[in-house]
């Protein structure tokens, strides 16, 4: 069987998760590689969640929040953005490509954009090849 | 500490909605093999009464203590199932949903792939729920007052509905008088009632109403609090600052007309006799239809869809312009029997009670209907030459005849689109509602919950939600009023208990959480040297939880343990299944 990436996506409840639901109610079709985890706010995405996803074998991690200025909790997405830049540096030091972690803004009305993002990001991660983090950790421990 | 957990898993067919793309029987069978899962079943409609009864019966018979339902989005039915758990004597938070409809069966095309994905989502939910804990619902008293922002027909209708039932209303209007756009309207379609006769008695009722307090020339900058207990500060012009306290909010801030200056073909602002529908309405109201030169126009053209249904301006239909244009033709025909009237339209949309009849009736009044192709070039208006015998000429290809034509006009009325208010975004932030791409506010559910929003206690009615006519605005206003009166009647409301909580034994007193909280809900207890969460102010975003360096802050119902287990469950099946 050829390589199919697995992507873990953290979506905020108010904008992005609703946008993903809208893609569903509009019957838009997209790649089935993404597994969604709902959090109330992208600000809740703890760095350990992202690292744990890689540890468990994710090939890519996506975080989606409300557009800047639209956060249901005023500024959680900004907190997430700051953390994202640090995390990207961190995963690169671990030897992962920076594209394995992506932050995108998806509003509640952007079902189309969500579906397109799922396809394009799946393609990006597919081109990166399998993430070996899980095996590396297993070998080391 | 691993005590035995007894999990029940229910996989919904949703008729064929899920079952067509996901092998629900297989999902239930595979998930049934996971540790702690006592039973795993599939059923046609889990949300139906028999479906819920099914769960309740199993909880009692098999002594289940946690329930996972794999069905639609939790945004749809999480509350339904939480209630079912409660009816069975379980804590409602011992429940988790796996979204295998909106995020699986409706969006994927390969049954094998979709089934695999569904399994991994359900396995993740099973893993997560093992760490769920009982949370006690908190109830708060509802302040029986309501704040309504916007004094147009929607705000006025809601205010009277609530005020007449004996409850206090604060009606906030940014202008110096009530009435909104309707105050500028002459007659209303399709029955030609006078707008003044509709509006003026309502405004009079409000002026003398013991329960309705009106604040004119007043804007709302920020609203604090939560359902049942909101507050804001207002500064009405010429008066001193006042503090208002209320339990619910209705946003009825309306919309504004589109400025057609940006559409070059129409020459608005350059050709003096090209006017907007709003300006024409004012002429009708004054009872005098004259050109800028002060004479009665011999030819009047009405151009539809100005800024609407066009990818360069607004893509949506503004809903009321077609019927308003027909109303203009009717009024023109009565006032100027000899004037030629041209309706230049893209499509006539005459939905709504009495509207199709109104269209038929108008077309019988010597009004010429000419169709243009909005997808290609819009009609172009140019100044006519003296020999043409009119002020302007409108050129376009008439779609039904296929001919290039020139329509004479001494006055052109542009049926302008309706768009979101300039400060729609500020208002959205002040009360915590979301906006769609064109800045209209988003309702909680487009079909099932059209006036509530995702913020409890905040309702949207009238034009701020989307362009709509008078009866639709009033219907929404009264619907929101009824919803609010129902909650006031109960007197209490349940609020989310998924707030943050500090473990004082682990808290190192670094106060990082204090700085990131957007609600100033966390303070520092100097005596104990630890952070303290005010549960009334906390809205449960979880930002503090992901910032806390020691793990002292727990975001209830979204704890680290719960989410990490969810990730583990998600990936364990994904990997396993890929290797098979």
Helix (H, G, I), strand (E, B) or coil at B545: helix
Alpha helix positions (H), B165-276: 195-207
Q: Which string of DSSP letters, residue by residue, matches B494-538?
A: EE----EEE-TTT-----HHHHH-TT--EEEETTTTEEEE-TTT-
B578 touches chain A (CB under 8 A): yes
Give the span between the Cα atoms of B517 and B537, in whole angstroms.
10
- pLDDT given for residue A1 in this prediction: 53
- B372's CB contacts (< 8 A; 6+ apart) are B344, B345, B346, B378, B379, B396, B397, B398, B399
B555 with A44: Cβ contact below 8 A? yes
Q: What is the ipTM of this complex?
A: 0.97
Cβ of A81 under 8 Å from any chain B Cβ? no
pLDDT (0 to 100) of residue B580:
37
* pLDDT of the residue at A98: 96
Q: What percent of chain A has pLDDT over 70?
A: 99
Q: Do B437 and A110 touch (CB under 8 A)?
A: yes
Is B117 in contact with A32 (Cβ distance < 8 A)?
Answer: yes
Q: What is the pLDDT of residues A10-43, one digit of tens each?
A: 999 999 999 999 999 999 999 999 999 999 999 9
Residue B257 backbone dihedrals phi, psi, to 5 degrees: -75, 150
- Between CA B543 and CA B537 the distance in angstroms is 14
Interface test with B, best of A61, A72, A115 (most B CBs within 10 A): A72
SS3 B170: strand
For residue A78, the SS3 value is helix
B4 pLDDT band, cuts 50/70/90, is confident
CB A20 within 8 A of CB A36: yes
Rounded-to-10 torsion of CA B537, B436, A44, A61: 180
**Both tokens assigned to B537:** 């102010």
Within a domain: A2: no
Q: How far is B500 from chain A (nearest CA, A)?
A: 11
Cα of A37 to nearest chain B Cα, Å = 8
Give me the mean pLDDT over the B569-575 stretch: 73
Interface test with B, best of A31, A32, A55 (most B CBs within 10 A): A32
Q: Which of B571, B575, B576 to mutate to test the interface with A (most CBs of A within 10 A)?
A: B571
What pLDDT is recorded for position B375?
Answer: 86
**C-beta separation of B102 from B74 below 8 A:** no
Q: How far is CA B382 from the centre of its chain?
A: 41
Q: How far apart are the first and last CA of chain A?
A: 28
Considering only CB atoms, which chain B residues are within 8 Å of A114?
Answer: none
The pLDDT-based confidence of B551 (bands split at 50, 70, 90) is very high
pLDDT for A8 equals 97
- Which chain B residue's Cα is nearest to A6? B574
Question: Do A44 and B539 make contact, defined as CB atoms within 8 angstroms?
Answer: no
Whether the per-residue pLDDT at B206 is higher than 50: the answer is yes
User: Where in chain B are the domains?
Assistant: 1-135, 146-254+421-493, 257-419
Determine whether the interchain pair B124/A46 forms a contact, defined as Cβ–Cβ distance below 8 Å.
Answer: no
Which residues touch A10 (CB under 8 Å, ≥6 apart)?
A37, A39, A42, A45, A49, A50, A61, A62, A63, A64
Residue window 92-111, chain B: list those with CB within 8 Å of chain A. 99, 101-104, 106-110
Question: Residue B546: CB partners within 8 Å, gap ≥ 6?
Answer: A43, A44, A45, A46, A47, A49, A79, A83
**What is the CATH code for B257-419?**
3.50.50.60
Distance CA B137, CA B287 (A): 61
Which CATH number, 3.40.50, 1.10.3470, 1.20.58, 3.40.720, labels domain B1-135?
Answer: 3.40.50
| A21's tokens | 């639901």
Contacts of B498 in chain A (CB under 8 A): 40
Helix (H, G, I), strand (E, B) or coil at B96: strand
Cα of first residue to Cα of last residue in chain B, in angstroms, is 33
Query: Cβ contact (<8 Å) for A52 and B75?
Result: no
* DSSP class of B453: -
The beta-carbon neighbor of B564 closest among A24, A49, A75 is: A49
Contacts 24+ apart (CB under 8 A), A132-140: A133/A54, A133/A55, A133/A57, A133/A94, A133/A96, A134/A54, A134/A55, A134/A56, A134/A57, A134/B575, A137/A55
Interchain proximity B560–A58, CB inside 8 Å: no
Query: Is some CB atom of chain A closer than 8 A to the CB atom of B543?
Result: yes
Cβ within 8 Å, pair B564-A52: yes
B134 to A60, B92, B157: CA distances (angstroms): 33, 8, 42
Task: Give the C-alpha separation, B139 to B145, whole Å.
Answer: 18
- Residues of chain A in contact with residue B426, where contact means CB-CB under 8 angstroms, are none
CB atoms within 10 A of CB B153: 30
Q: Rounded CA gap, B558 and B568, in Å?
A: 15
Mean pLDDT, chain A, whole residue set = 94
Give the mean pLDDT of chain B. 94
Which pLDDT score is estimated for B577?
44
Confidence label for B496 from pLDDT (cuts 50, 70 and 90):
confident
Nearest CA in chain B to A20: B103
B79 touches chain A (CB under 8 A): no
pLDDT of A74: 82
**Which architecture does CATH list for B146-254+421-493?**
3-Layer(bba) Sandwich (3.50)
Q: What is the Cα–Cα distance from B414 to B412, expressed in whole angstroms? A: 6
Query: The tokens 């006017």 sit on which residue?
Result: B275
pLDDT (mean) for B4-14: 96
CATH of the domain at A40: 3.40.50
CA-only gyration radius of chain B, Å = 30
Rounded to the nearest angstrom, the minimum Cα separation between B80 and chain A is 18
Q: Which residues pair with B344 in a beta bridge?
A: B303, B370
Q: How many beta carbons lie within 10 A of that of residue B377, not counting itself?
A: 12
Residue B204, sorted as left (phi over 0), alpha (psi -120 to 50) or beta, turns out to be: alpha
Q: How many domains does chain A have?
A: 1
Cα B520 to Cα B534: distance, rounded to the nearest angstrom: 9
Which residues of chain A lie closer than 8 angstroms to B429, CB-CB? 69, 74
In angstroms, the separation between the Cα of residue B349 and the nearest Cα of chain A is 24
Which of A22, A27, A35 best probes binding to B when mutated, by most B CB atoms within 10 angstroms?
A35
Mean of the pLDDT values across residues B257-266?
96
pLDDT score of B576 more than 60: no
CB hemisphere CA count around A90 (13 angstroms):
12
Question: Which residue matches tokens 């559409």?
Answer: B263
**How far is it, in rounded angstroms, from Cα B580 to Cα B577?**
5
The CA distance from B459 to B487, in Å, is: 13
User: Do the Cβ atoms of B100 and B122 come closer than 8 Å?
Assistant: yes
Say what the pLDDT of residue B401 is: 96
Locate B9 and state its tokens. 């898993």
Residues of chain A in contact with residue B120, where contact means CB-CB under 8 angstroms, are 35
Crossing angle between the packed helical segments B153-164 and B470-490, to the nearest 10 degrees: 30
Q: Which residues of A touch B125 (CB under 8 A)?
A: none
Q: Do domains B1-135 and B257-419 have the same CATH topology?
A: no
pLDDT over threshold 60, residue B575:
no
- Give the model's pLDDT for residue B578: 41
CA pair distance B10, B98, nearest whole angstrom:
10
Residue B557 has pLDDT above 90, yes or no: yes
Question: In this complex, is the C-beta atom of B120 within 8 Å of any C-beta atom belonging to chain A?
Answer: yes
- B295: Cα within 13 Å, side-chain hemisphere: 8
CA distance B64 to B129: 12
Cα B365 to Cα A131: distance, rounded to the nearest angstrom: 73
User: How does pLDDT run across B73-96, given as a tens digit for each residue?
Assistant: 999 999 999 999 999 999 999 999
Within 8 A of A37 by CB-CB distance, chain B residues are 124, 563, 566-567, 570
* Cα of B493 to nearest chain A Cα, Å: 21
Read off the pLDDT band of B434 (50, 70, 90).
Answer: confident
Residue A115: give the domain boundaries: 7-140
Asked whether the beta carbons of B18 and B12 are under 8 A apart, the reply is yes
**Partner B contacted by A78 (CB < 8 A):** no
Task: Determine contact: A7 vs chain B, CB below 8 A.
Answer: no
pLDDT category at B1 given cuts 50, 70, 90 is very low
**Residues B430 and B436 sit within 8 Å (Cβ to Cβ):** no
Is a pLDDT exceeding 90 seen at residue B62? yes
Instruction: Name the pLDDT band for B2 (thresholds 50, 70, 90).
Output: low
pLDDT in tens, B276-305: 999 999 999 999 999 999 999 999 999 999
Local structure of residue B104 (DSSP, 8 states): I
Work out how many CB contacts closer than 8 A connect A with B: 154
Nearest-CB residue to A43 (from B120, B121, B546): B546
What contacts B186, CB < 8 A, 6 or more positions away? B194, B195, B281, B284, B285, B331
Tokens of B222: 């920020």
Integer Cα distance of B69 and B78 in angstroms: 9
Residues of A in contact with B102 (CB under 8 A): 20-21, 23-25
């Amino acid at each position: 069987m050829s390589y199919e990436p697995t992507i873990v996506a953290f979506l905020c409840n108010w904008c992005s998760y609703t946008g993903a639901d809208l893609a569903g109610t509009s019957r838009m079709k997209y790649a089935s590689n993404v597994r969604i985890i709902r959090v109330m706010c992208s600000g809740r995405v703890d760095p350990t969640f992202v690292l744990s996803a890689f540890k468990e074998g994710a090939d890519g991690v996506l975080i989606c929040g409300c557009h800047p200025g639209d956060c249901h909790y005023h500024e959680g997405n900004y907190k997430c953005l700051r953390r994202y830049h640090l995390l990207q540096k961190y995963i690169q030091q671990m030897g992962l490509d920076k594209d394995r972690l992506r932050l995108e803004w998806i509003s509640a009305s952007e079902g189309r954009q969500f579906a397109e993002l799922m396809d394009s990001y799946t393609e990006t991660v597919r081109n990166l090849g399998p993430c070996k983090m899980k095996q590396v950790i297993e070998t080391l421990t | 500490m691993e005590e035995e957990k007894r999990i029940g898993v229910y996989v919904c067919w949703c008729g064929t909605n899920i079952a067509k793309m996901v092998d629900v029987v297989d999902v239930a069978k595979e998930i049934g093999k996971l540790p702690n899962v006592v039973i795993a079943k599939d059923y046609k409609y889990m949300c139906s009464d028999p479906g819920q009864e099914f769960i309740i019966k199993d909880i009692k018979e098999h002594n289940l203590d946690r329930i996972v339902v794999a069905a639609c989005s939790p945004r749809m039915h999480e509350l339904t199932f939480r209630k079912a758990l409660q009816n069975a004597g379980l804590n409602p938070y011992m429940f988790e949903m796996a979204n295998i409809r909106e995020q699986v069966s409706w969006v994927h095309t390969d049954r094998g792939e979709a089934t695999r994905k569904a399994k991994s989502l359900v396995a993740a939910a099973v893993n997560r729920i093992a760490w769920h804990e009982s949370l006690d619902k908190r109830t708060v008293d509802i302040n029986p007052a309501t704040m309504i922002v916007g004094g147009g027909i929607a705000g006025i209708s809601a205010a009277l509905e609530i005020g007449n039932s004996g409850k206090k209303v604060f009606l906030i209007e940014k202008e110096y008088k009530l009435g909104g756009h309707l105050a500028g309207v002459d007659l209303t379609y399709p029955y030609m009632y006078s707008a003044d006769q509709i509006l003026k008695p309502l405004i009079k009722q409000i002026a003398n109403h013991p329960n309705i307090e009106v604040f004119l020339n007043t804007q709302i900058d920020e609203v604090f609090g939560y359902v049942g207990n909101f507050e804001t500060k207002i500064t009405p012009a010429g008066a001193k600052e006042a503090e208002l306290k209320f339990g619910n909010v209705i946003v009825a801030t309306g919309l504004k007309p589109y400025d057609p200056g940006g559409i070059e073909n129409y020459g608005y602002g350059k050709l003096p006799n090209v006017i907007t529908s709003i300006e024409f309405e004012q002429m009708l109201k004054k009872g005098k239809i004259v050109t800028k030169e002060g004479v009665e126009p011999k030819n009047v053209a009405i151009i539809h869809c100005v800024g609407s249904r066009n990818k360069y301006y607004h893509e949506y239909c503004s809903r009321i312009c077609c019927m308003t244009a027909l109303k203009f033709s009717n009024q023109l025909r009565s006032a100027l029997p000899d004037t030629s009237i041209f309706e230049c339209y893209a499509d006539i949309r005459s939905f709504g009670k009495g509207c199709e009849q109104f269209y038929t009736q108008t077309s019988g009044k010597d009004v010429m209907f000419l169709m243009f192709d909005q997808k290609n070039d819009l009609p172009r208006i140019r100044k006519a030459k003296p020999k043409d015998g009119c002020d302007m000429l409108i050129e376009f290809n008439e779609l039904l005849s296929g001919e290039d034509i020139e329509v004479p006009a001494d006055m052109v009325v542009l049926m302008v689109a309706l768009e979101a208010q300039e400060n729609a975004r500020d208002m959205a932030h002040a009360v915590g509602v979301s906006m769609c791409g064109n800045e209209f506010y988003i309702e909680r559910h487009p079909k099932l919950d059209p006036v509530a929003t995702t913020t409890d206690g905040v309702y949207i009615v009238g034009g701020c939600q989307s362009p709509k006519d008078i009866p639709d605005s009033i219907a929404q206003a009264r619907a929101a009023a009824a919803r609010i009166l129902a909650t006031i009647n109960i007197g209490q409301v349940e609020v989310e208990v998924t707030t943050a909580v500090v473990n004082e034994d682990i808290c190192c007193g670094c106060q990082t959480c204090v700085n990131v909280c957007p609600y100033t809900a966390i303070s520092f207890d100097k005596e104990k040297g630890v952070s303290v969460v005010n549960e009334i102010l906390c809205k449960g975003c979880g930002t503090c939880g992901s910032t806390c360096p020691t793990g002292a802050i727990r975001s209830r119902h979204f704890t680290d343990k719960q989410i990490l287990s969810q990730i583990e469950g998600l990936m364990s099946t994904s990997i396993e299944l890929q290797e098979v």
